[in-house]
Structure 1
Amino acid sequence: MASLPCLRPIHPLVLLHHCGSALPSISNRCFNHFSSSQNRPRTGRTRAMAKVGFSPAQDQVASLGDLEFVSPLKIVEYPDPKLRAKNKRIVNFDDNLKKLVHEMFDVMYRTEGIGLSAPQVGINVQLMVFNPVGERGEGEEIVLVNPRVNKYSKKLLLYDEGCLSFPGINGDVKRPESVKIDARDVNGARFSISLSGLPARIFQHEFDHLQGVLFFERMTEEVLDSIRGQLQALETKYEGLTGLPSPEKIESSRRRKVAGFGK
C-alpha cells in the first residue's frame, strides 16, 4: 500500500488443497496483505457448499490485441473505468501471456501486494495471480486463467482488506471461509482447486475484480462511511490527473447489488 505499512496475515496460513492438475508455477501478488478481525462472525456449523451462478456463456473472447501491454505495468487506481470494464476470456496461451504473468508478478512484489488481477494493470482479461506468502521466491505462486466459482462455503469470516487500486484504504469485508474453483493454467490446461483461509480470501477479492466488483461494495454501510472521504479523495485525484470528471461518485451513487459469495 502507499501510505500505510504493509499488513501481514496474523493467522496460520491454510495450505492449498489440489484437485486435479497441479498448480502452475510462475512468479505473484492487487491486493495487500490481510489481518484477521478480532471479532470473526460465528455462523455455527459449516454448511454444505453452495453453487454460484457465474457462467462463461456470455463472455467475449480476448483478441491478441487485448493482451498487448507496455512494460513496466502500472497499478490502475479507483475510479478508473478499466476497473469496471468487461473482462474477456483468454483463448491464446502463448509466450505473450507468460510474459504478462511475469510482469504482473513483478509489479505485485514491487508494490507489496499478495494478489493481482489483470484489470488492475489496465488489461481487461480474465487473469489473476497471487502468492499468499507475499515474498518472491517463497510460498506458492498461483496463476488462474478464466476462473469460475464452482462452490463456496456458507461459513463467513470477517477480515480487514486492502487493495492496491485503493492506496491507503482498508476496511472489514465478510467473505466465505472456503471456495472451490475451476480454471486454466498459463499453458491452457484445465484444473480444479479448493482454497480456504487466506488463499480463499485472496481469490475472492481478485475474482470480484474480474467481475467489475470493488471491495468497498461488500462492506457494511458503517464501514463504507468510515472510508467515504478517502474514496472521494481518489475521485478528486483522478479528475486532477486526467482532466475528466470522475466516472463514478461514492457520494451520489446507489449501492449496487453484488452477486455471489454469501451476498
Structure 2
Amino acid sequence: MARAYTWLQLSSLSQFILPRNYLRFANPLSSILPNFVSSPASYSSLSKRSMRHLIPVLAQAKRGPSFKDNEVALPADLQFEAPLKIVEYPDPRLRAKNKRIGKFDDNLKNLVDEMFDVMYKTDGIGLSAPQVGVNIQLMVFNPVGERGEGEEVVLVNPRVIKYSKKTVLFNEGCLSFPGIYADVQRPESLKIDAQDITGSKFTIDLSGLPARVFQHEFDHLKGIVFIDRMTEEVVETIREELQALEKKYETETGRPSPERIGTRKKKVAVGFGKS
C-alpha cells in the first residue's frame, strides 16, 4: 500500500524502545519502515491482517469505564505464570482496574519478555498487560510484528497529555477478540508521557500507526475495549461474532457472561480528552 503514515523520528524513539534482550538491533527503525508500510498487515493487540488507507474524518467517540489510576501495584499484582495466555472477551479482567507500576525489577523485565513471546506467537503487533490477565499499566508493541525484526517498544504507566482534533477511521482487530475486525475512529496524533523499563520518564509525540497502536493498547489499560469505540451500526455488523465469544466464555467457565452485546446499549460521548 502507499505510505499513509507519518512516522516517529528514530531519535525520539530511542528513549523507550527496548529491542530483544534489551539491546538495540543493528538496523535502525527507519530502515525497516518502508518494508512494513508496503506490506500487508493489520494490527493491534492487533493481529496482522490486510490494511487499508487511513481515512481522515471528524467525529465523536465512545468512552468505556473510568478509573482513578494512582494506586500502585503490589508485588502480588505482578505475579504471572508462563506461558502467558490471551484473555478473551468478555472476561472481566479486561474491564478491571489496572494499577500503576512502582517497582522496576527483573520480574517486570521477565513479564515484558513473556508478553512479547505471546504477542509474536499469536501474530500480533501490540499487547497490553490486562490482555494476559495482569492488571497493571504496561504495554508492548513492535510495528513489524516479527521476532528479531523491527523495534520492540515498552511503555510503563503511560498518560495522554493531548489528542489531536483530527481523527481517522481504521479497520482494527484485537487479540482479545479473535477473528473480529471492524472500523474504529481515533485521533490521528497525540502527545504522551510514560516510563521505560528502568523507570526513566519521557514525553513524546506519536502520529500515524504508532499513535493508533498506542491508543488501542492504552484503552485496555483504562478498561476500554475496541467495541466501546465503535458506532452501534458497526457493532451490529459483528454482533454474531461477539455473541459467539460470550457463549464460548460461558461454556468454558460455567459462569454467565459478564457482558451481553445483544442487550447492551452504550451512549456516545463527545471527543477524546486528556487522561
TM-score by shorter chain over 0.5: yes
Paired residues, number: 244
Q: 1:77 to 1:11 in 2, by over 3 A?
A: farther
Map Cα deviations across residues 7-61 of structure 1 (whole Å, 9 max, x no partner): xx8745532245597123144x722236554571345xxxxxxxxxxx9965211
Query: Aligned with 2:131: secondary structure?
Result: helix
Query: Aligned with 2:238: secondary structure?
Result: helix
Residue pairs, 1:29-178, within 5 angstroms: 30-33=45-48, 35-37=50-52, 40-43=55-58, 58-178=69-189
Structure 2-normalised TM-score?
Answer: 0.81
Instruction: Give the drift of 1:122.
Output: 0.2
Where does the alignment leave 5 or more consecutive residues of structure 1 unmatched?
Answer: 1-8, 44-54
Counting aligned pairs with the same residue, the percent is 62
Where does the alignment leave 5 or more consecutive residues of structure 2 unmatched?
Answer: 21-43, 59-65
Does the 8 Å CA contact 1:79/1:247 hold for their aligned counterparts?
yes
Q: 1:179 to 1:20 in 2, by over 3 A?
A: same
Instruction: Give the drift of 1:191.
Output: 0.8
Structure 1-normalised TM-score?
Answer: 0.85
Q: 2:18 aligns with which of 2, 18, 25?
A: 25
Does the 8 Å CA contact 1:145/1:186 hold for their aligned counterparts?
yes
Q: Which deviates the most, 205-214 or 135-144?
A: 135-144
Q: Which deviates the most, 93-102 or 246-255?
A: 246-255
- Residue matched to 1:207: 218
CA distance in 2, matches of 1:189, 1:117: 19
Instruction: Give the drift of 1:79.
Output: 0.2
Q: 1:196 to 1:166 in 2, by over 3 A?
A: same
Q: 1:224 to 1:20 in 2, by over 3 A?
A: closer
The residue identity in structure 1 corresponding to 2:46 is: F
Query: Aligned with 2:170: secondary structure?
Result: strand
CA RMSD of superposed structures (Å): 2.5
Residue pairs, 1:209-224, within 5 angstroms: 209-224=220-235
Does the 8 Å CA contact 1:90/1:146 hold for their aligned counterparts?
yes
Q: Does 2:208 align with 1:197?
A: yes
Q: 1:181 aligns with which of 172, 185, 192?
A: 192
Does the 8 Å CA contact 2:174/2:180 hold for their aligned counterparts?
yes
Map Cα deviations across residues 91-149 of structure 1 (whole Å, 9 max, x no partner): 01000000000000000001010100000000000000011111112222110000000
Q: Which deviates the most, 163-172 or 9-18?
A: 9-18
